[in-house]
Structure 1
Amino acid sequence: MARTDSPRRWYLFDYGNVISTPPTPSDWEVLAEAAGVDRLQDPGSAYWRYRIAYDAGALTSDEYWSLVRGSRAGPPRAAWLDALDASQWSHLNPETLDVLEDLEARGEHLAVLSNMPAAMAAQFADASWTRLFRHLFFSSSLRLVKPSPAIFERVLAELRTAPWQVTFVDDSPANVAAARAVGLHGLLFDPSEDLWRLLAEGLAVSPASQD
């Protein structure tokens, strides 16, 4: 991709576990009770087993929640479960928000890239945090999921920028590695670390040719 003349970088942020905090145990209990399935938070549960397909837009809400439940979930129940699911992922990280608000106030270019099903993206459409971003990229609308290199290439094309002009922040090592392989400046998010320092140190070690 040809290098652009844009004077500013793009800051591309993941949503879950970066802008938001993880669901609480009580959140998972409420969702599990509504779904009729225990321990949905476990890595091997049906919630996660079919999640990539749901995030990719390959499953409807009814289809996904039916697979999670192991029995038919009609539209009303699926919509209810989607609402509970969105609610448990709606708790925002105040430290991340502080950084985002400062970046936005400085006129920096901000965007989101999240693996997120269409139902959840729709419920977040009017959320206050979305106003900080110039672009919102969700896997379900792109029909691509992280860590596929294709999703990063699609975002770069939409932003009309070069990979070295993008700083990408995500909590998944696989996603960060994939972004770096495409040429983005990938930073691994850790909620226990200072995000401002991570961004500053990350840019400090960027090759001069990519500033």
Structure 2
Amino acid sequence: MIKAVVFDLGGVLASPPSLLPLLAARMGTTHARVAEHYWSGRDAYDAGGSTQDYWGPLVAAAGGSASEGLLDELALLDASVWSELRPQAWQVLRDCRSAGVIVAILSNSPHAVQSAADGAQWRRDVDHLFVSATLGMMKPDPAIYRAVADQLGLPGAELAFIDDKQANVDGALAVGWRAHLWTDDADTRDWLVAVGVLER
């Protein structure tokens, strides 16, 4: 019996099309140049790296101008946009809560996302928010899934996990969780029905 549903954040719950254009506008460069460099160094940032170490090289590589305070502004903008849930995804969270299961988010994200998400309106519909930078480990490291299971006080067989990256799904499966590769909100709902969390 599933007692907790753990969602990834970026992709599964949030997919902000405006993110890169907003960042580019703030940097004074183009969307294409930001897109080219956005994911470079992101793993280190999501693992707890500093704002300066991620955003400084990104701004320089994208041809932007790093004025005083810009890096902190970019970190906050990035985090706030990633913390905006699609309405359909937010409804799935609410429906899981209404079904009586624990609702959690497990995200490979920087410290700034922890702060932004903790202040978001949807946070009241989530029992636990686990962010890689805060935990000091990242998906698909088996240790992060074990740490989450320990904090939830549940065995893997009672945890349902949804992520948009196959490696992260495989990591959860390897430690005994039920796990599903996300494709869209309707598919998420169908899978949660199939594992007995939600009803039609």
- The question of a shared fold, defined as TM-score above 0.5 by the shorter chain, is answered with yes
Matched, 1:64 2:57: no
| The one of 46, 49, 52 aligned to 2:43 | 52
Residues in 2 aligned to 1:8 and 1:193: alpha-carbon distance in whole angstroms? 19
Cα shift at 1:169: 0.8
Matched, 1:29 2:21: yes
Residues in 2 aligned to 1:107 and 1:74: alpha-carbon distance in whole angstroms? 49
| The one of 62, 84, 87 aligned to 2:80 | 87
Q: Classify the secondary structure of the residue corresponding to 1:145.
A: coil
In structure 2, the residue matched to 1:3 is none
Q: 2:164·2:183 contact (CA, 8 Å) conserved in 1? A: yes
Cα shift at 1:36: 4.6
Go from structure 1 to structure 2 and tell me whether the alpha carbon gap of 1:60 and 1:15 turns closer, same or farther (over 3 Å shift). same
Cα shift at 1:74: 7.0
Map residues 145-156 of structure 1 onto 2, 5 A cutoff: 145-156=138-149
Matched, 1:18 2:12: yes
Q: Classify the secondary structure of the residue corresponding to 2:75.
A: helix
Aligned length: 193
Unmatched segments (≥5 aa) in structure 1: 1-6, 205-211
Q: 1:11·1:168 contact (CA, 8 Å) conserved in 2? A: yes
Unmatched segments (≥5 aa) in structure 2: none
Cα shift at 1:30: 2.1
Matched, 1:139 2:114: no
Q: 1:9·1:109 contact (CA, 8 Å) conserved in 2? A: yes
Cα shift at 1:144: 0.6
Q: 1:36·1:69 contact (CA, 8 Å) conserved in 2? A: no
Residues in 2 aligned to 1:203 and 1:41: alpha-carbon distance in whole angstroms? 42
AA of the residue aligned to 1:170: D
- Give the ranges of 4+ consecutive aligned residues of structure 1 lying more than 4 Å apart after TM superposition: 71-75
Go from structure 1 to structure 2 and tell me whether the alpha carbon gap of 1:91 and 1:63 turns closer, same or farther (over 3 Å shift). same
Moved more, 73-82 or 115-124: 73-82
TM-score of the pair, normalised by structure 1: 0.82
Residues in 1 aligned to 2:84 and 2:34: alpha-carbon distance in whole angstroms? 16
Once the two structures are aligned, what percentage of the paired residues are identical? 35
Residues in 1 aligned to 2:110 and 2:78: alpha-carbon distance in whole angstroms? 10
Q: 1:112·1:136 contact (CA, 8 Å) conserved in 2? A: yes
Q: Classify the secondary structure of the residue corresponding to 2:73.
A: helix
In structure 2, the residue matched to 1:177 is 170
Q: 1:56·1:139 contact (CA, 8 Å) conserved in 2? A: yes
Cα shift at 1:196: 2.1
Matched, 1:128 2:118: no
TM-score of the pair, normalised by structure 2: 0.86
